[in-house]
Chains A and B, each alone.
Chain A
Amino acid sequence: MKHNQPVYTDNDPQNELVTLNLGPTHPATHGVFQNVLQLDGERIVSGVSTIGYIHRAFEKIAEHRPFYQITPLTDRLNYCSSPINNMGWHMTVEKLLNIQIPKRVDYLRVIIMELARISDHIICNTIIAQDTGATTTFLYLFQFREHIYEIYEEICGARLTTNIGRIGGLERDFNDIAFAKINKFLKEFPVALREFESLLNRNRIFIDRTAGVAEVTQENALSFGWTGPLLRATGVDYDVRVSEPYSSYQDFDFEIPVGTSGDIYDRYLVRNEEMWQSVRIIEQALEKLKSEPKGIFHADVPEFYLPGKEEVYNNMEALIYHFKIVMGEIDAPKAEVYHAVEGGNGELGFYLINDGGRTPYRLHFRRPSFINYSMFAKMSEGMLLSDAIINMSSMNIIAGELDA
Chain B
Amino acid sequence: MAKATNTEIIDLLGEKFGEQLFDVTEPYGLLTFSTTKDKIVNVLSFLKENAKINFNFLTDLTAVHYPEKNQLAVVYHLHSMVSRVRVRVKVFIHENDATIPTVSTLWNSANWMERETYDFFGIKFEGHPDLRRILNMDELGVFPMLKQYPLEDPNRVDKKDEYFGR
Contact = CB atoms under 8 A, between A and B. Distances in A.
Given A236-B81, A371-B113, A374-B108, A337 B145 contact: no
Given A55-B135, A65-B166, A328-B165, A223 B27 contact: no
B62 A351 contact: yes
Contacts of A194: none
Nearest to A59: B145
Contacts of A373: 112
Most central of B65, B111, B135, B137 by chain A CB within 10 Å:
B135
A1 B132 contact: yes
Q: Interface range on chain A: under 10, 10 to 19, 20 to 34, or 35 or more?
A: 35 or more
B136 A55 contact: yes
A279 to B, nearest CB: 27
B90 to A, nearest CB: 10
A228 to B, nearest CB: 13
A22 interface: no
Interface in A44-102: 51-52, 55, 57, 59-61, 63-66, 69, 95-96
Contact of A61 (B107, B111, B116, B151): B151
Interface stretch (A24-32, A130-138, A184-192, A357-365): A357-365
Most central of A2, A61, A362, A403 by chain B CB within 10 Å:
A362
A338 B108 contact: no
B81 A95 contact: no
A326 B164 CA distance: 9
Contacts of B56: 222
A351 B132 contact: no
Nearest to A353: B64
Given A222-B57, A243-B81, A338-B88, A371 B109 contact: yes
A359 B75 CA distance: 20
Nearest to A238: B81
A336 B108 contact: no
Interface string A321-362: 000001110000001111010000001010101000011011
B27 A336 contact: yes
A224 interface: yes
Contacts of B138: 2-4
A4 B139 CA distance: 10
Interface in B31-89: 32, 56-60, 62, 64-65, 75, 77, 81, 84, 86, 88
Contacts of A236: 81
Contacts of A3: 137-138
B97 interface: no
27 contacts: A3-B137, A3-B138, A59-B120, A59-B145, A60-B144, A60-B151, A66-B165, A69-B166, A220-B108, A223-B107, A225-B57, A225-B109, A243-B81, A243-B84, A335-B27, A337-B28, A337-B30, A338-B60, A338-B86, A338-B88, A347-B59, A349-B59, A349-B77, A351-B75, A362-B65, A371-B113, A403-B135
Interface of B: 27-28, 30, 32, 56-60, 62, 64-65, 75, 77, 81, 84, 86, 88, 107-109, 111-113, 116, 120, 132-138, 144-145, 151, 161, 165-166
Chain A to chain B: the 3 pairs with minimum beta-carbon distance, closest first: A225-B109, A52-B135, A374-B112
